[in-house]
């Protein structure tokens, strides 16, 4: 009996030790995982976004063309375009009733993006810098994100993409998307990464001035109506513009808190 | 029920055409459909998702109704509950086929969903609870319920008696075995009922709650979805069951009640959408009332209304005519299909929040062919299951033919399955939810959804363990084995 008690005690002690080990192991694994977004603790958590001045915008479409070229967006072709299947990461929203001017509309990179919530495989996710990003290879093509997006800013590759010529005009920094996946604006994430890397190598800070015209749409805008920057930095130009009286958002009632701010005088 | 050869030939031809259309779509991409970019004048979810919503919801509603019948132990409705299983399996398979036809990359989906599926997406519930666990549970339930019939067939069949004996899984036809059968029926139904209802509500959420739509309307749509699914489930059961008079009246009453309720909910939803100050809701409501979608909308209401009236008359007269039951069933199924179509498609064409151009949607012959092929395949599967899984009950043997010896192993295995399954499913859910990892990272341990699904499967397998493990033979009273051919 005594021997039995001892062995049971040993067994329970072993069990407790194993459980404690497992908990410690899990905690350290979780700590390691959580540490990843804070790899550079000196940097504050940036929140990238755009400010588009509708009073300056000439509706020239330069941003649309530049975006297509920069991000390897395949031209739709006559047949697909006729069937309303062209892909434009930034497009023009037709004028609302009572207005006569179209609105350039990229992905809103919402702070509370519904597309991220509904993606069943995590192909769409929010980076720790607030960009609503997409892993093309992960996407299963269910198009739930397209249904969920209140701004309709996502595109599905209905057929195999084709580029004119031998493809030498493609940007090597951006992966082309295959048939059957959803794609969207990335705020030219590759350019942001490259700028951050350059700043790190040069041991210089990433200044607001260097960022303002970073994405292709902002760079190509002849009237400088599009400004890019970090909303979390109160000194940045985008933060100051967004705090101004002309600032407005699309569909505020959707509760998505978009990080693309429009500037326009009240009419 | 033995299917006619002509019906099998026609159905097989339709399945072949559907398969050809599917292969055509797989080669050329979804450019061969009329699905287009949302906001640019098209819809991204069309006939395939409508088909999924119809088949899967009707199947789940039928299965849930069968569970209620078993839990309430309504013996006179056993035939209805029994028919719900093959109908449920066929419907869930059809829903799964529709989803696979709709996906841009179905192969990636079969790999990624079990590995990195996210529970916060309603799709997680549809592929784990609807396509996975519900289907498995229905198959297990059907297999267990068919054992007496298979045992009878093993005794009577001139061909493959060994095969039928194997399927019968050692069914002895003793009173103890029958008691276990009844107990498993009751407890399995009690366990599966919440799962089927949850799966139904999750499907309703996919259809009802969408961005740009006011939240109250989405919630309202979930209720309409579930009620109309119940009506479709009753309709399919009435269509598939050679019901007794009592069962026929029961189904007619259910059909009348649910179809009538669906009419009320659809009308109330329309009125609320018209009265709401939300522009997208008003635009959508106008499109249904007197716009481009008015014909399907009024047809839907009329079909629901007619089905409710026929069901009401049959239940009033307490006489369920097979022909009228079939007509009412077809009417209600058509109404539910239209309801799914309108709630899904009309919202994408006319319910957008921004000033995008209104859209159109005219499904192509490829889409119609695939959907027809899937529907035909579902009917074929139902016919095959109805033939292969007989509903016959075995004669119950002497009450004390088996001693209670050996029950501890059965209890132990059942408990292990239930507790282990619950633990596995909880662990799988926690892992899938990405506990201990940042929201933009993958879960630290991939495969959480698979573990969750395995846990659910194990819990259902507990019923198999309980029923299949035989009593140990008592030395005093050994029951006769199945007679050999």
Structural domain harbouring A150: 41-263
CA–CA separation, B119 vs B312, rounded Å? Answer: 41
- The pLDDT value recorded for residue B397 is 54
pLDDT digits (tens, 9 = 90+) for B404-428: 555 788 889 999 999 999 999 999 9
User: Percent of chain B at pLDDT above 90?
Assistant: 50
* Residues of chain A neighbouring B116 (CB-CB closer than 8 A): 121-122, 138
pLDDT score for B297: 96
Nearest CA distance, B45 vs chain A (angstrom): 8
Mean pLDDT (whole number) for B12-35: 94
Closest CB from A84, A122, A159 relative to B40: A84
Selected residue with higher pLDDT from A36 and B363? B363
Q: What's CA B423's distance to the chain center, in Å?
A: 26
Residue B360 burial class via C-beta count within 10 angstroms: exposed 0-12, middle 13-18, buried 19 and up: middle
Give mean pLDDT, residues A86-90: 91
Q: Is B447 on the interface with A (CB under 8 A)?
A: no
Lowest-confidence pick of A202-211, B118-127, B438-447: B438-447
Looking at residue B392, its pLDDT comes to 59
Q: How confident is the model at residue A62 (pLDDT cuts 50, 70, 90)?
A: very high
Note whether B108 contacts A140, CB cutoff 8 Å: yes
The neighbour count for residue B185, using CB atoms within 10 Å, is 23
Q: How confident is the model at residue A167 (pLDDT cuts 50, 70, 90)?
A: confident
CA distance A251 to chain B (A): 7
- How many cross-chain Cβ pairs, A to B, lie less than 8 Å apart? 172
Confidence (pLDDT) at A263: 94
Give which of B34, B38, B46, B120 to mutate to test A binding, by max A Cβ within 10 Å: B38
Q: What is the pLDDT of residue A31?
A: 36
pLDDT higher than 90, residue B210: no
Nearest of A163, A151, A152 to residue A71 by alpha carbon: A163
User: Nearest CA of chain B to the CA of A129: how many Å?
Assistant: 10
| DSSP SS3 for A8 | helix
- The Cα–Cα gap between A56 and A103 comes to 11
For residue B79, report the phi and psi dihedrals to the nearest 5 degrees: -60, -40
Q: What is the pLDDT of residues A181-228, one digit of tens each?
A: 999 999 999 999 999 999 999 988 888 888 999 999 999 999 999 999
Tokens of A145: 């994100």
Reported as a pLDDT band with limits 50, 70 and 90, residue B164 is confident
Chain position carrying tokens 């994405």:
A215
Residue B157 pLDDT exceeds 80: no
Chain A CB within 8 Å of residue B209 CB: no
- Put simply, the answer to whether A139 touches B127 (Cβ < 8 Å) is no
Task: Determine the distance in angstroms separating the CA of A67 from the nearest CA of chain B, rounded to an integer.
Answer: 18
Q: Are strands A260-263 and A48-53 parallel, antiparallel or unpaired?
A: parallel
B53 by DSSP, 3-state: which? Answer: helix
Distances (CA, A) of A51 to A110, A112, A213: 13, 18, 11
- φ and ψ of B102, to 5 deg: -85, -25
Residue A72, phi-psi category: left (phi > 0), alpha (psi -120 to 50), beta (remainder) = left
Q: What is the pLDDT of residues B50-107, one digit of tens each?
A: 999 999 999 999 999 999 999 988 888 888 888 899 999 999 999 999 999 999 999 9
- Of residues A44 and A192, more confidence is placed in A192
Chain B residues in contact with A97 by the CB 8 A cut-off are 355
- Give CA–CA dist B323/B319, Å, rounded: 12
The predicted model gives B281-292 an average pLDDT of 90
Contacts of A182 in chain B (CB under 8 A): 104
Q: Which two tokens stand for residue A237?
A: 């130009």
Query: How high is the pLDDT of residue B483?
Result: 46
Q: What is the mean pLDDT of chain B?
A: 87
What pLDDT, on a 0 to 100 scale, did the predictor assign at position B443?
Answer: 75
Phi-psi map region of B228: left, alpha, beta (phi>0 left; psi -120 to 50 alpha):
alpha
Q: pLDDT class for A33, splitting at 50, 70, 90? A: very low
Confidence (pLDDT) at A27? 37
What's residue B399's pLDDT?
53
Residue A133: inside a domain: yes
Confidence of residue A142 (pLDDT cuts 50, 70, 90): very high
Q: Is pLDDT at B324 greater than 80 in this prediction? A: yes
Chain A residues with CB under 8 Å of B439 CB are 125-126
pLDDT band at B213 (very low <50, low <70, confident <90, very high): low
Share of chain B above pLDDT 70, in %: 90
3-state secondary structure A158-217: CCCCCCCCCCCCCCCCCCCCCCCCEECCCCCHHHHHHHHHHHHHHCCCCCHHHHCCCCHH
Question: Would the CB atoms of A96 and B355 count as touching at under 8 Å?
Answer: yes
Q: Residue for token digits 């309801």?
A: B339
Nearest to B29 among A84, A87, A158 (CB): A158
- Chain B interface disruption, residue of A88, A116, A120, most B CBs within 10 A: A120
Chain B residues with beta carbon closer than 8 angstroms to that of A151: 39, 353-354
User: Which residue carries 């592929």 as its tokens?
Assistant: B127
Stretch among A19-23, A252-256, B437-441 having the lowest mean pLDDT: A19-23
Q: Is the pLDDT of residue B398 over 90?
A: no
User: Given pLDDT bands bounded at 50, 70 and 90, which one contains residue B212?
Assistant: low
Confidence label for B163 from pLDDT (cuts 50, 70 and 90): confident
CATH number reported for the structural domain that contains residue A192 in this entry: 3.30.70.20
Kindly write down the DSSP assignment for every residue of B300-349, as one continuous string. HHHHHHHHHHHHHHHHHHT---HHHHHHHHHHHHHHHHHHHHIIIIIHHH
Select the more confidently predicted residue: A35 or B393.
B393
Asked if residue A3 is part of any domain, the answer here is no
CA distance A96 to chain B (A): 6
Kindly state the helix (H) or strand (E) to which residue A226 belongs, with its residue range.
strand A226-230
Q: How confident is the model at residue A39, as a pLDDT?
A: 44
- Whether A4 maps to a domain, the answer reads no
Per-residue pLDDT, averaged over B452-472, amounts to: 88
Rounded-to-integer distance, Cα A262 and Cα B79, Å:
64
Question: What is residue A28's predicted lDDT score, i.e. its pLDDT?
Answer: 37
Q: How many angstroms separate the CA atoms of B1 and B6, rounded?
A: 15
Q: How many domains does chain A have?
A: 1
In a domain, A116, yes or no: yes
Q: Rounded distance, CA A14 to CA A31, Å? A: 25
Which chain A residues are Cβ-neighbours of B40 within 8 angstroms? 84-86, 152
pLDDT for residue A150 is more than 60: yes
Q: What is the pLDDT of residue A18?
A: 47
Lowest mean pLDDT among B267-276, B295-304, B361-370, B442-451: B442-451
CA distance B140 to chain A (A): 27
Mean pLDDT across chain A, nearest whole number? 82
In order, the DSSP letters of B415-455 are HHHHHHHHHHHHHHHHHHTTTTS-TTS--SSTTHHHHHHHH
> B110 with B63: CB under 8 angstroms?
no
> How far is it, in rounded angstroms, from Cα B414 to Cα B391?
26
Is the pLDDT at B118 greater than 60, yes or no?
A: yes
User: A74 in a domain, yes or no?
Assistant: yes
- Tell whether A175 is covered by a domain: yes
pLDDT band at B224 (very low <50, low <70, confident <90, very high): very high
Q: Is residue A177 part of a domain?
A: yes
- HSE toward the beta carbon, residue B410, CA cutoff 13 A: 16
Q: A38 versus B217: which is more confidently predicted? A: B217
Tell whether A197 is covered by a domain: yes
> And the tokens for B272?
């609320």
**What's the pLDDT at A30?**
37
Whether the Cβ atoms of residue B151 and residue B165 lie closer than 8 Å to each other: yes
- Identify the bridge partners of residue A132 per DSSP, sorted by sequence position: A126
* pLDDT above 70 for A20: no
Instruction: Kindly calculate the radius of gyration of chain A based on its CA atoms and give it in whole angstroms.
Output: 24
State the DSSP code for B130. Answer: I
């Amino acid at each position: 009996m005594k021997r039995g008690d001892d062995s049971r005690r040993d067994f329970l002690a072993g069990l407790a030790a194993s459980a404690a080990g497992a908990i410690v192991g899990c905690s350290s694994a979780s700590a390691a995982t959580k540490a990843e977004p804070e790899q550079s603790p000196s940097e504050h958590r940036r929140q990238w976004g755009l400010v588009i001045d509708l009073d300056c915008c000439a509706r020239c479409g330069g941003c649309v063309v530049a975006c297509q070229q920069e991000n390897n967006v395949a031209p739709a072709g006559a047949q697909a375009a006729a069937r309303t299947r062209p892909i434009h990461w930034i497009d023009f929203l037709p004028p609302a009733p009572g207005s006569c001017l179209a609105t350039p509309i990229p992905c809103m990179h919402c702070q509370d993006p519904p597309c991220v919530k509904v993606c069943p495989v995590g192909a769409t996710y929010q980076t720790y810098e607030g960009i609503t990003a997409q892993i093309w290879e992960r996407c299963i093509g269910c198009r739930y994100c397209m249904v969920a997006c209140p701004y309709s800013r996502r595109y599905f590759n209905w057929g195999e993409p084709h580029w004119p010529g031998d493809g030498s005009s493609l940007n090597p920094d951006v992966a082309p998307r295959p048939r059957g996946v959803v794609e969207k604006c990335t705020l030219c994430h590759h350019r942001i990464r490259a700028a951050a890397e350059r700043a790190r190598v040069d041991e210089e800070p990433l200044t607001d001035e260097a960022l303002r015209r970073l994405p292709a749409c902002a760079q190509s805008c002849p009237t400088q109506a599009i400004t890019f920057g970090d909303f979390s930095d109160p000194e940045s130009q985008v933060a100051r513009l967004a705090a101004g009286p002309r600032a407005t958002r699309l569909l505020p009632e959707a509760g998505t808190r978009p990080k693309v701010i429009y500037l326009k005088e009240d009419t | 029920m033995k299917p006619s050869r002509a019906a099998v030939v026609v159905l097989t031809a339709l399945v072949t055409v559907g398969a050809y259309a599917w292969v055509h779509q797989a080669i050329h991409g979804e450019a061969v459909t009329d699905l287009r970019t949302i906001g640019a004048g098209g819809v991204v979810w069309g006939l395939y998702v409508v088909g999924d919503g119809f088949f899967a919801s009707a199947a789940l509603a039928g299965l849930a109704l069968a569970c209620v019948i078993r839990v309430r132990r309504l013996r006179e409705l056993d035939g209805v509950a029994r028919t719900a299983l093959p109908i449920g399996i066929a419907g869930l398979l059809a829903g799964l086929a529709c989803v696979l036809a709709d996906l841009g990359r179905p192969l990636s989906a079969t790999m990624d969903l079990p590995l990195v599926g996210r529970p916060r997406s309603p799709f997680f519930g549809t592929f784990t609870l609807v396509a996975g666990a519900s289907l498995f549970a229905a198959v297990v339930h059907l297999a267990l319920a068919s054992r007496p019939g298979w045992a009878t067939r093993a005794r009577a069949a001139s061909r493959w008696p060994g095969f039928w004996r194997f399927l019968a899984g050692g069914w002895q036809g003793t009173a103890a075995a029958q008691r276990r059968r009844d107990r498993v029926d009751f407890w399995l139904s009690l366990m599966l009922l919440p799962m089927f209802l949850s799966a139904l509500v999750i499907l309703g959420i996919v259809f009802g709650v969408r961005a740009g739509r006011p939240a109250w309307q989405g919630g309202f749509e979930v209720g309409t979805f579930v009620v109309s699914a119940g009506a479709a489930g009753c309709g399919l059961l009435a269509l598939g069951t050679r019901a007794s008079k009592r069962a026929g009246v029961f189904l007619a009453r259910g059909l009348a009640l649910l179809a009538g309720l669906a009419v009320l909910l659809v009308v109330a939803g329309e009125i609320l959408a018209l009265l709401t100050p939300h522009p997208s809701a008003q635009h959508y409501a106008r499109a249904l009332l007197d716009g481009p979608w008015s014909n399907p909308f009024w047809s839907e209401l009329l079909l629901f209304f007619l089905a409710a009236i026929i069901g009401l008359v049959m239940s009033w007269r307490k006489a369920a005519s097979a022909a009228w039951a079939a007509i009412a069933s077809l009417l209600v199924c058509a109404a539910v299909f239209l309801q799914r179509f309108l709630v899904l498609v009309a919202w994408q064409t006319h319910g957008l929040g921004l000033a995008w151009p209104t859209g159109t949607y005219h499904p192509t012959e490829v889409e119609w062919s695939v959907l027809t092929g899937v529907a035909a395949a579902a009917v074929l599967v139902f016919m095959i299951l109805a033939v292969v899984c007989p509903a016959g009950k075995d004669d119950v043997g002497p009450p004390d033919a088996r001693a209670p010896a050996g029950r501890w192993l059965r209890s132990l295995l059942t408990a292990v399955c239930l507790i282990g399954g619950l633990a596995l499913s909880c662990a799988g859910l926690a892992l899938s939810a990405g506990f201990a990892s940042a929201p933009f990272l993958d879960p630290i341990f991939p495969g959480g959804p698979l573990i969750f699904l395995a846990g659910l499967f194990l819990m259902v397998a507990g019923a198999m363990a309980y029923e299949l493990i035989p009593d140990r033979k008592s030395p005093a009273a050994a029951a006769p084995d199945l007679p050999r051919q």
